[in-house]
């Protein structure tokens, strides 16, 4: 049977606000347990939530970036359930009327662009953390994360493979970090996905029964979990079984998903509008204010790079992989006489390789755009060869400094002037008369021998083009 895979993702993006969504406590990661939990986060008797406008700014930003509708009036609702790291016994979320509805994300697969529809994005608060180790059979509760603002972004079931799901998650990750609403740190849980996966015989219009895989916090786990789940469902159905709607957890150690709870155990969250919070009203002025501070979006910038600089789709994609990558590139350009192709090659080549080697982000690059630009300028004007440029880059990366000063100090300039090259060539010809004779007898392979010797003699600095010309001319001359 030919199966079609249907996937939708629910993504929780932790919003990069300084304080929590309903209290003034800080949201910074990594503080000692419970020091960033104020009376409101602890849900002491009598405390009340107050909405943080910056969290709403983030939601508006996301809505604008995805072409979604931003509700002029949305409602906060209580999702009621008991858990020790949920201090109020309910989570404040949005249910019937979310702040953002609709919108689309573009994803790119093997050079083809696909539109993925978004269902909605709503604001809610995160829960705290339960710690089950180190407490001698008891559980510890850390409420630092309680009340951290989240944007839950729900896609339509438009994704058709694990690869597409990962491409969507990556595109979403790029977008939320690009527009500055999320730091995107997946290890710290700032960006995590739940995947709804089902399969159906190709051609069937109704959806198969889905399973939800919770809390996937890396692209690799997302891909592997979905691949496992697809295999599991197909094998199950082909063996005569039926898929049961349930929530599953992915175990990366064993590379499998396991049932967490079935639909029958699903709780009734008893959503109702939170009477402590007024409806959220967003007017055109507020949206305009956010719009005015909106950066150029990645898809638009990628397109611009293709059109304005003549870059390939791939190169433009690499350069817009993150906003800091794009900023680096744009800062580098004027230092390198706006040679976009040369800049693109170096950023996606040497620079990216060096960053990758050391596990650094581009904003932490050891070579600044100005430094790299200084180097590229000397390649452009022929002072150094491309090969020499790579060596120079390694020096800049390891030791710092300026390209011009290093070229000067270490004598790295290309030898391009004809008389110096002629000097080298003539002394070689004097040293190897037999080889000169061979060449002149028509054995042109010997040419390479002279190139190698001349390069060596020049300490690698001979301008290859000039050297070739001088060699040809001299060797031919009887």
Partner 1 sequence: MDLANTSLRQLASALHERRISSRELAQAYLGRIERLDGELGAFITVDPEKTLAQADAADARIARGQAGPLTGIPIAHKDIFCTQGWLTTCGSRMLSNFVSPYDAHVIEKFAGAGALILGKTNMDEFAMGSSNETSHFGPVKNPWNLAKVPGGSSGGSAAAVAARLAPAATATDTGGSIRQPAALCGVSGIKPTYGLVSRYGMIAYASSLDQGGVIAPSAEDLGLVLNAMVGFDARDSTSIDRPAEDYTATLGKPLKGLRIGLPREYFSGGVSSDVAQAIDAALEVYDRLGAERVEVSLPHSALSVPVYYVLAPAEASSNLSRYDGVRYGHRAAQYADLNDMYERSRAEGFGPEVKRRILTGTYVLSRGYYDAYYLQAQRVRRLIVNDFREAFEQCDVIMGPSSPTVAFGFGEKTGDPVQMYLSDIFTISVNLAGLPGLSIPAGFGAAGLPVGLQLIGNYFSEGRLLQAAHGYQQATDWHRQVPDMARA
Which residue in the set 235, 251, 255, 276 belongs to the binding site for partner 1 (CB under 8 A)?
Answer: 276
Q: Which stretch binds partner 1 (CB under 8 A): 10-18, 190-198, 263-271, 356-364?
A: 263-271
Count of C-beta atoms within a 10 Å radius of residue 231 = 12
Q: Any idea which residue has 């969504």 for tokens?
A: 21
Q: In this complex, which beta carbon is closest to partner 1, that of residue 1 or of residue 138?
A: 138
Q: How buried is 140 (Cβ within 10 angstroms: 0-12 exposed, 13-18 middle, 19+ buried)? A: middle
Q: How far is the CB of 94 from partner 1 (least distance, A)?
A: 15
Nearest approach, Cβ of 141 to partner 1 (angstroms)?
7
Binding residue for partner 1, selected from 4, 26, 80, 366, defined by CB under 8 A: 80
DSSP 3-state of 371: helix
- Burial class (CB within 10 angstroms; exposed 0-12, middle 13-18, buried 19+) of 59: buried
DSSP reduced 3-state for 45: coil
Contact 322, 360 (CB under 8 A): no
Query: Is 45 a residue that touches partner 1 (CB under 8 A)?
Result: yes
* 272 near partner 1, rule: CB under 8 A: yes
CA angle 170, 333, 304 (to 5 degrees): 50
What residues numbered 125-154 form the site for partner 1, per CB under 8 A? 141
Beta-ladder partners of 194 = 10
DSSP, collapsed to helix, strand or coil, labels residue 38 as: coil
Kindly tell me which of 96 and 417 has the beta carbon lying closer to partner 1.
Answer: 96
Least spacing, CB of residue 271 vs partner 1, in Å: 8
Spatial contact of 410 and 371, defined as CB atoms under 8 Å apart: no
Assign 3-state DSSP to the chain and report helix, strand, coil percentages, each to 5.
40, 20, 35
Minimum CB separation of residue 99 from partner 1 in Å reads: 16
Selected binder of partner 1 within 46, 288, 359, 433 (CB under 8 A) = 46
CB of 86 to partner 1, least distance (A): 9
Closest distance of CB 143 from partner 1, Å = 8
| Smaller CB separation from partner 1, 89 or 382 | 89
Provide Rg for the chain, Cα atoms. Answer: 30
Q: How far is the CB of 277 from partner 1 (least distance, A)?
A: 5
Residue 69 three-state SS: strand
Beta bridge partners of 101: 69, 120
Across 266-303, b (16+ Cβ under 10 Å) vs e yields eeeeebeebeebeebebeeebbeebeeeeeebbbebbe
The correct pick among 48, 239, 242, 409 for binding partner 1 (CB under 8 A) is 48
The answer to whether the beta carbons of residues 186 and 11 sit under 8 Å apart is no
- Work out how close the CB of 90 gets to partner 1 at its nearest, in angstroms, rounded to a whole number: 5
Contact segment (CB under 8 A) with partner 1 among 237-245, 275-283, 287-295, 356-364 equals 275-283
Q: Which is nearer to partner 1, 286 or 432 (CB)?
A: 286
Query: Of residues 84, 382, 386, 459, which one binds partner 1 by CB under 8 A?
Result: 84
Sites of contact with partner 1 (CB under 8 A): 39, 42-51, 78, 80, 82, 84, 87-90, 141, 268, 270-272, 275-278
């Amino acid at each position: 049977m030919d199966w079609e895979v249907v996937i939708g993702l629910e993504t929780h993006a932790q919003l990069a606000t300084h304080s929590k969504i309903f209290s003034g406590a800080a949201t910074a990661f990594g503080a000692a347990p419970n020091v960033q939990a104020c009376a409101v986060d602890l849900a002491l008797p009598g405390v009340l939530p107050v909405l943080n406008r910056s969290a709403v700014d983030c939601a508006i930003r996301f809505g604008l970036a995805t072409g979604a509708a931003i509700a002029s009036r949305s409602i906060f609702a209580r999702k009621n359930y008991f858990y020790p790291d949920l201090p109020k016994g309910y989570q404040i979320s949005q249910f019937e009327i979310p702040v953002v509805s609709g919108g689309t994300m573009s994803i790119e697969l093997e050079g083809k662009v696909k539109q993925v529809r978004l269902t909605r994005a709503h604001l809610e608060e995160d829960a705290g953390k339960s710690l089950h180790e180190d407490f001698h059979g008891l559980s510890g509760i850390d409420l630092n994360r309680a009340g951290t603002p989240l944007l839950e972004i729900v896609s339509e079931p438009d994704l058709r493979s694990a690869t597409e799901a990962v491409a969507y998650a990556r595109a979403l990750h790029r977008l939320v970090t690009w527009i500055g609403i999320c730091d995107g740190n997946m290890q710290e849980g700032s960006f995590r996905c739940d995947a709804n996966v089902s399969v159906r015989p190709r051609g069937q219009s109704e959806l198969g029964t889905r399973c939800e895989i919770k809390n996937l916090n890396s692209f690799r786990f997302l891909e592997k979990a979905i691949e496992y789940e697809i295999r599991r469902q197909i094998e199950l159905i082909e063996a005569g079984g039926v898929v049961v709607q349930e929530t599953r957890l992915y175990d990366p150690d064993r590379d499998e998903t396991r049932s967490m709870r079935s639909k029958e155990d699903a709780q009734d969250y008893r959503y109702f509008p939170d009477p402590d919070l007024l409806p959220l009203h967003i007017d055109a002025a507020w949206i305009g204010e956010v719009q005015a501070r909106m950066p150029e979006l990645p898809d638009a910038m990628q397109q611009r790079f293709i059109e304005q600089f003549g870059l390939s789709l791939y190169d433009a994609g690499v350069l817009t992989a993150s906003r800091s990558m794009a900023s680096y590139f744009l800062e580098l350009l004027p230092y390198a006489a706006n040679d976009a192709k040369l800049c693109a090659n170096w950023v996606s080549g040497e620079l990216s390789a060096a960053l990758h080697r050391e596990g650094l982000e581009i904003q932490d690059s050891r070579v600044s755009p100005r430094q790299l630009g200084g180097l590229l300028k000397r390649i452009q004007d022929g002072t150094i060869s491309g090969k020499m440029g790579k060596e120079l880059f390694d020096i800049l990366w390891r030791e710092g400094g300026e390209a011009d000063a290093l070229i000067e100090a270490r004598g790295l300039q290309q030898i391009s002037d004809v008389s110096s090259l002629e000097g080298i060539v003539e002394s070689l010809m004097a040293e190897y008369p037999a080889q000169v004779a061979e060449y002149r007898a028509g054995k042109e392979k010997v040419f390479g021998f002279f190139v190698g010797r001349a390069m060596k003699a020049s300490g690698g600095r001979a301008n290859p083009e000039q050297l070739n010309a001088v060699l040809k001319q001299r060797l031919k001359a009887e």
